[in-house]
Amino acid sequence: MRHSRPQLCAAKMLRMNPIQFPLPQERIPRTWYNLLADLPEPMAPPLHPGTLQPIGPEDLAPLFPMALIQQEVSTQREIEIPDPVRQVYAQWRPSPLFRARRLEKALDTPAKIYYKYEGVSPAGSHKPNTAVAQAYYNKVEGTKRLATETGAGQWGSSLAMACAFFGLECKVYMVRVSYNQKPYRRALMEAFGATVAASPSTETECGRAILAEHPDTPGSLGIAISEAVEVAAKDPETKYALGSVLNHVLLHQTVIGLEAIEQMAMAGDEPDVIVGCTGGGSNFAGLAFPYLGRKIHGQSKARVVAVEPAACPSLTKGPFRYDFGDTSHLTPLVKMHTLGSTFIPPGIHAGGLRYHGMAPLVSHVLELGLIEATTVQQLDAFAAGIQFARAEGILPAPEANHAVAAAIREALAAKAEGRERTILFNLSGHGHFDMQSYIDYQAGKLENFEYPAEEIAMALAGLPSVE
Ligand SMILES: *Cc1c(COP(=O)(O)O)cnc(C)c1O
């Protein structure tokens, strides 16, 4: 075929200025990367909530299938991804890595900005990376039904989809403020066949107890987790699935970083800064942990930055202590950065970031000085998301806006210093189900929340005394 001159020029220009680094399908990772294998110091063990002694696999057996319990404590560096899981991944993986050239131009920065885009999954976020794996292992071990919590509905819709793929029933407790703010996510879960209740609900003892005390509560992830755990603990055919925080969830997300390492090599660049937003820590860990492994082995010097909302700042303001994962204290105690399990975060629109604690593994690497943490206010997050959308055409999820805002901050700092800097961030999902929050933002109805110091102090005063 013969090309006219302008077409030839365009083709040449794209080759010189590529914006996408496509990996072939056979490069979908065959193994997940387990950071536990490379930690310079081991993590503190989870403790039984009654005896305060380290728990064993049998303590978790009512809640999780054995394969996931083993992954939770495994120190094997590479863990094989089962073929049926890889087969589902192939629908949207490898996910694209883009260079944000138009955003760089808009910011007039010498920095290069790359982003890994997880919004290409059918549910619109990174969450199916673990939902599919969890549904698969449950199916293999004979589970009939999964019970879970969801904040904004990203996790609930991902698990509902995965349950539909593997023939499991799915019950979702959705944080009430999100249940009201995000009816389309609920509709999506129901379309996939899940049953959804606003949490706290009257269906569980935990829910009823909280409603009796706080009838107008907006709910929280901690409460919704209590409800789902209660249901799973009481029914031998039901198990529990968690969308973040646990080691095995972070493990499943490492496909993101493993692919990104190859794609950055295609781009001929090494990141100087890696950025991810943190609710429970899973999308951040997914991108960052494979790089942290390299950092521990002296193969990467990248700074790694976790970004959380100023209204729910567990990593930056919460002490590193043993605490419960849920409000009603049904879960084991884990050592993590926490604002206190009874803390109910303000109703920010980034529902996926409204969790009182942080993944123990992310907390641990912060303690070891391997990562940094920072915060972003709600209005700055939305302003960044809008700027990103105008430059790149993708409207991020409110959670992902926090990563966008921090990446822009890094790019502007590079400009102020007159230095180059290669930034890589995780765009964890799109915001197409979060349009009400954008409507409210554009109408000037969103506000920044002050750091809720008093409520946090109260919740922290109630921390269990272990140590
Ligand atoms: C759930 C969610 C988050 C927060 O959860 P992590 O486990 O911290 O990743 C961030 N972004 C999106 C799009 C989400 O759906």
Q: Say what the pLDDT of residue 335 is.
A: 97
- Report whether residue 397 contacts ligand 1, using a CB cutoff of 6 Å: yes
- Report whether residue 257 contacts ligand 1, using a CB cutoff of 6 Å: no
Shortest-distance Cα residue to atom 14 of ligand 1: 352
Residue with tokens 């502007």: 412
Greater model confidence, 347 or 308:
308
Buried b / exposed e over 310-336, threshold 16 CB at 10 Å, is: bbbbbbbbbebbbbbbbbbbbbbbbbb
Burial class, 7, CB count within 10 angstroms (exposed 0-12 / middle 13-18 / buried 19+): exposed
Shortest-distance Cα residue to atom 1 of ligand 1: 352
Domains in the chain (CATH in brackets) are: 60-81+127-240 (3.40.50.1100), 86-124+247-461 (3.40.50.1100)
| pLDDT digits 0-9 by tens, 354-368 | 899 999 999 999 999
Q: Say what the pLDDT of residue 5 is.
A: 65
Probe target for ligand 1 pocket from 130, 253, 399, 401, with the most ligand atoms within 8 Å of CB = 399
- The model's confidence at residue 3, banded by pLDDT at 50, 70 and 90, is low
- Report whether residue 134 contacts ligand 1, using a CB cutoff of 6 Å: no
Q: Say what the pLDDT of residue 467 is.
A: 63
For residue 127, which atom of ligand 1 is closest to its CA? 15
Region 257-273 average pLDDT: 98
Biggest CA pair distance of the chain: 77
Shortest-distance Cα residue to atom 15 of ligand 1: 154
- The model's confidence at residue 6, banded by pLDDT at 50, 70 and 90, is low
Residue 75 corresponds to which tokens in the numbers above?
């120190």
Probe target for ligand 1 pocket from 126, 155, 188, 354, with the most ligand atoms within 8 Å of CB = 126
| pLDDT digits 0-9 by tens, 174-206 | 999 989 988 999 999 999 999 999 999 999 999
- Report whether residue 315 contacts ligand 1, using a CB cutoff of 6 Å: no
Residue with tokens 């990203």: 154
Q: Is the pLDDT reported for residue 4 higher than 60?
A: no
Centroid of ligand 1 to alpha carbon of 62 (angstroms): 26
| pLDDT digits 0-9 by tens, 45-88 | 999 998 999 999 999 999 999 999 999 999 999 999 999 999 99
| 3-state class percentages of the chain: helix first, strand second, coil last, to nearest 5 | 45, 15, 40
Pairwise CA distance, residues 452 & 114, whole Å: 34
Q: Which residues have CB under 8 Å from 320's CB, separation 6+?
A: 335, 336, 337, 363, 366, 367
| Reported pTM | 0.96
| pLDDT digits 0-9 by tens, 243-259 | 999 999 999 999 999 99
Q: Is the pLDDT reported for residue 166 higher than 80?
A: yes
Q: Which residues have CB under 8 Å from 449's CB, separation 6+?
A: 310, 311, 346, 348, 378
Q: Say what the pLDDT of residue 7 is.
A: 67
- Report whether residue 428 contacts ligand 1, using a CB cutoff of 6 Å: yes
